[in-house]
C-alpha cells in the first residue's frame, strides 16, 4: 500500500513538471496577446491588491528588523569611536606631560646661566616621587640618591629658584627639606644692594615666607627680589651657595616701635607642585657645612 502511494506521488510530480515546462515553453513562444499571457496578466491583476496589502502589513515588521540591525551597527560604531577617542586622549595626555617635562628641564638649565654660582656645581636631575602629608609642606622625596653623587645638605633648586636642601638620603632616593619647613632658615639678601636677613616659613603656607632681622630703617620695596647670601667666614658658611633666586617681596610692615620690620616673601618655586628638581652637588667647599 505504501509503495503504491509513493509511486502515485512520483507520477503526479513528474506530470506537474512536464506541464510546467510546456507552459513555460508556450509562454515564451506565443505572442503577448496569446491566451497564456492573458491568463498571467489576469492572475497578476487579481493578486496585485493582495500583494500591496501584504506589503503594507509586513512593513512594520521589516522596519523593526531594520531598526534592530541599524541600532546594533550604531552601537558597534559608537564603541569603536569611544575606544579611538580614549586612545587619542591617552596619547594627548602623554604628549602634554612630556612637553611639561621638557619645559621644566629647560627652565632648570636656564637657571645655570642666570645664577653663575649654580654653574660651579654638578646638577643632578631628580623626579619627585613622594610628598610630605602634613600642612607644613616640609619635605619631598626624589628618585636619586648617593649612588648618583647626592650628599647631605646639597642645595636643591627648580628652574624658578630655591627649593631646599638634602636632609637625608639612601642609595636610590633623597629627602629634600623645603624652605617652607619649620626648621628651615635661609640667609638672604635683597637685590640689588639691599640688606641681608633670614628667610623663614609661615606655618602651613608654602606661598608666604618671612624675611626676618631687617632693620626697620631699611626701606624694602614691594616686588624686590631676594637671593641666597651665601656667606662664609672661613670657619662657618651659609647652608646655601650664593646667588640662587628665592622669591619676591609682597609686603613690608613695621608695627609700633619694633626694631625690625616684617617682610613677606613669595617664593619663586611652586613648592606645592614640584615635579622635577636639580640637586647641586660637588662645587666649592663650604666650611662648617657637613656633606
If one counts the domains in the chain, the total is 1
Question: Within a 10 A sphere around the Cβ of 135, how many other Cβ atoms?
Answer: 10
Number of other residues whose CB lies within 10 A of the CB of residue 260:
15
Give the bridge partners for 187, in sequence order. 198
Confidence (pLDDT) at 163: 95
- Domain range spanning residue 174? 124-281
- Res 21: pLDDT: 62
pTM: 0.61
Cα gap 267→131, rounded to integer Å: 18
CATH number at residue 169: 2.40.10.340
Question: What are the average pLDDT values for consecutive 10-residue runs of the chain, which has 291 residues?
Answer: 65 67 57 56 53 60 68 70 66 52 55 61 91 78 95 91 94 94 91 89 83 85 90 77 91 76 91 90 78 65
Residue 186 lies inside a defined structural domain of this protein: yes
Q: Tell me what pLDDT residue 137 has.
A: 63
131 falls within a domain = yes
Q: Is residue 72 one of the residues assigned to a domain?
A: no
Per DSSP, what are the bridge partners of residue 273? none
In a domain, 60, yes or no: no
pLDDT at residue number 11 = 72
Residue 240, domain member (yes or no): yes
Cell numbers representing residue 131 in the block = 610628598
The answer to whether residue 222 is domain-embedded is yes
* pLDDT confidence of residue 202: 82
Which pLDDT score is estimated for 267?
94
Could you give the CA distance from residue 273 to residue 266 in angstroms, rounded to a whole number?
Answer: 15
Amino acid at each position: 500500500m505504501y509503495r503504491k502511494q509513493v509511486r502515485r506521488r512520483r507520477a503526479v510530480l513528474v506530470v506537474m513538471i512536464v506541464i510546467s515546462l510546456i507552459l513555460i515553453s508556450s509562454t515564451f513562444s506565443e505572442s503577448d496577446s496569446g491566451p497564456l499571457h492573458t491568463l498571467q496578466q489576469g492572475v497578476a491583476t487579481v493578486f496585485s491588491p493582495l500583494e500591496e496589502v501584504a506589503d503594507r502589513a509586513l512593513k512594520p515588521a521589516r522596519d523593526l528588523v531594520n531598526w534592530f540591525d541599524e541600532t546594533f551597527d550604531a552601537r558597534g560604531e559608537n564603541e569603536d569611536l569611544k575606544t579611538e577617542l580614549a586612545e587619542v586622549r591617552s596619547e594627548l595626555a602623554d604628549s602634554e606631560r612630556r612637553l611639561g617635562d621638557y619645559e621644566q628641564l629647560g627652565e632648570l638649565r636656564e637657571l645655570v646661566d642666570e645664577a653663575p654660582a649654580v654653574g660651579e656645581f654638578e646638577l643632578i636631575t631628580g623626579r619627585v616621587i613622594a610628598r610630605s602629608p602634613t600642612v607644613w609642606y616640609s619635605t619631598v622625596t626624589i628618585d636619586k640618591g648617593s649612588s648618583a653623587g647626592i650628599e647631605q645638605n646639597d642645595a636643591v633648586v627648580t628652574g624658578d629658584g630655591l627649593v631646599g636642601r638634602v636632609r637625608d638620603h639612601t642609595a636610590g632616593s633623597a629627602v629634600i627639606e623645603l624652605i617652607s619647613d619649620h626648621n628651615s632658615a635661609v640667609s638672604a639678601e635683597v637685590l640689588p644692594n639691599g640688606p641681608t636677613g633670614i628667610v623663614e616659613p609661615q606655618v602651613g603656607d608654602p606661598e608666604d615666607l618671612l624675611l626676618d632681622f631687617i632693620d626697620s630703617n631699611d626701606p624694602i620695596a614691594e616686588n624686590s627680589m631676594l637671593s641666597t647670601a651665601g656667606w662664609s667666614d672661613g670657619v662657618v658658611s651659609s647652608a646655601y651657595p650664593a646667588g640662587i633666586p628665592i622669591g619676591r617681596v609682597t609686603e613690608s610692615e613695621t608695627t609700633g616701635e619694633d626694631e625690625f620690620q616684617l617682610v613677606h616673601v613669595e617664593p619663586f618655586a611652586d613648592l606645592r607642585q614640584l615635579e622635577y628638581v636639580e640637586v647641586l652637588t660637588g662645587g666649592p667647599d663650604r666650611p662648617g657645612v657637613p656633606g
